[in-house]
Amino acid sequence: MLEEDKEHLPSIVCVTVGIFQENCYLYACPETLETVIIDPGDEAERIIANIQEYQLVPKYIINTHGHIDHIGAIDAVSAVYPVPLAIHPDDVPM
């Protein structure tokens, strides 16, 4: 990869949260800082602090599946960043 291409790669912040040590990812466009929050499982305050520290602009919350260690902080994060939530329809009941 050329050095000048690296500046166009997405930025990824990993925040390991909760007793299950689940990885929440903040996947951001390096130019706009628009971000998706992936699997906010716990410790909403730590996730929000990282969003604020990196001056990210959340656009979506995406859950890979509905287990508690991946969804535990959705309500608290959504209270601060009321963005759309995406999850596979089969996991909605979870």
Mean pLDDT per 10-residue run, the chain (94 residues)? 59 95 96 96 97 96 93 97 95 81
**Residue 54, domain extent:** 1-21+46-62
Count structural domains, the chain.
1
Write down the pLDDT at residue 1.
Answer: 42
Within a domain: 52: yes
Within a domain: 53: yes
Q: Write out the two tokens for 7.
A: 């500046």
Write down the pLDDT at residue 10.
Answer: 78
Within a domain: 78: no
